[in-house]
Amino acid sequence: MVELKLTDNAPDFNLPDQSGKNHKLQDLKGKTTLVYFYPRDETPGCTAQACALRDNFAELQSKGIGVIGVSKDDTASHSKFATKHQLSFPILADTEHQMIEAYGSWQERSMYGRKFFGTVRSAVIIGPDLKIAAVWPKLAPLKTVPEVNKWLQSKEQGS
């Protein structure tokens, strides 16, 4: 399993979003971007997380943070999810889970005693230099925005 660390180069990617537009790592150069990984569209935790990010999107943007979601669902699923919940940020379709694996979010999970591999809810901040600026290897759905705000606060205080 990959474990990203601060200042690591962000792994490359090139994936379509909910409208079919491709996004690649190089597009993020010069920007600060929250990339969050989640298991599935339309599950309670994933929906709560996406809606919390939607509700705080303008504030995050005003602080210079872009947002990208990533799951292994396809573009059609993402399109329905984004439309239904009025999500204004890209959600990348990583159906082969290559990006999810490269960012360390594809892990063994367990549910009802059954073990399987799947996406672990996690997030990273990719800095303008395309290096990892923050890592949250496991994240509760409603902790994403507070953790990003905490990170921003620590940057402002110079720690």
10, 35, 46, 87: the active-site residue: 46
Q: Is 51 a catalytic residue?
A: no
Q: Which runs of consecutive H residues, i.e. helices, occur in 34-122?
A: 44-55, 57-62, 75-84, 98-102
d(CA 40, CA 83): 15
Q: Are 108 and 88 in contact (CB under 8 A)?
A: no
Sign of CA dihedral 159, 25, 19, 107: negative
Which residues, other chains included, contact 29 with Cβ-Cβ below 8 Å and sequence gap of 6+? 128, 129, 130
Name beta bridge partners: 133: none
Catalytic residues: 46
